[in-house]
Amino acid sequence: MTFSITARDPDSGQLGIAAATGTSGVGQLLTWARTRVGAVATQGWINPYLGIDGLDLLANGHPADKALRAVVHLDDAARLRQVAVVDAKGRTAAHTGEDCADWAGHVLGDGFVVAGNILESRETVEACAERFRGTTGEEDLVQRLILALEAGERAGGDRRGVRSATVYVVAGEEYPLWDLRVDDHDAPIEELHRLRDRLSETLLPQIRKLPTRLDTAGGLSDTDQDGLV
């Protein structure tokens, strides 16, 4: 139903997931990430607890491969699941169940995983991975993830076309730096690009002034007196 990329940026330590699918609302249950812990994408016949429990295991010190094995072992329908895991050190692991609809599979890279099912062909995940590698050091993580999705769509993408897309990125705080969702749109990946460009100018500067664990006032003195929302 979906193709996704789950990644860690080695320079910033940011963790993120981007995904696109032929149905609506891909962002609600697929993306799971926690700062300084890891990121998990759960797709196919989604089991949200693979993301929830996977992050808990990563937070308790399990590397990506052990966390993945643990959650898949406890899932009675693992044959229908697809899961991608990247931990805080950039280690990767993935599972594609044998009953995921063709074409289904994944690619493990240096600090990232691309996974997909119900795709036109393997070319989708390979193009997505190649584009992500090609932007190393050139863009911020959110933009790299969107560009990778775009390449995957151009290489075939979801067999049914793409109807929704999402990108979720965490940085140094427990709240996300980016949480963009296009839940129902004729060109959802293009819309992600538009939102990213627009919100980089409007919302992102305000997000960067929010309180942190070490500075509970944040940039309050520099923020518009009407507040963020």
The 10s digit of each residue's pLDDT in 4-60 is: 999 999 999 999 999 999 999 999 999 999 999 999 999 999 999 999 999 999 999
Is pLDDT at 222 greater than 60 in this prediction? no
In one letter, which amino acid is 141?
Answer: L
Q: What is the pLDDT of residues 145-204, one digit of tens each?
A: 999 999 999 998 777 789 999 999 999 999 999 999 999 999 999 999 999 999 999 999
Q: What is the DSSP letter of 222?
A: G
Cβ 185 vs Cβ 163: under 8 Å: yes
Q: What is the pLDDT of residues 107-148, one digit of tens each?
A: 999 999 999 999 989 999 999 999 999 999 888 999 999 999
Instruction: For each of the domains in the chain, give its residue range(s) and CATH number, in order of start.
Output: 2-194 (3.60.20.10)
The secondary element (H helix, E strand) that includes residue 22 is: none
Nearest to 145 by CA among 192, 105, 177: 192
With the C-alpha atoms ordered 60, 173, 164, 187, is the resulting torsion angle positive or negative? negative
3-state helix, strand, coil in the chain (%, to 5): 30, 30, 40
DSSP calls for 90-148: --EEEEE-TTSPSS-EEEEETTEEEEESSBS-THHHHHHHHHHHHTTTTS-HHHHHHHH
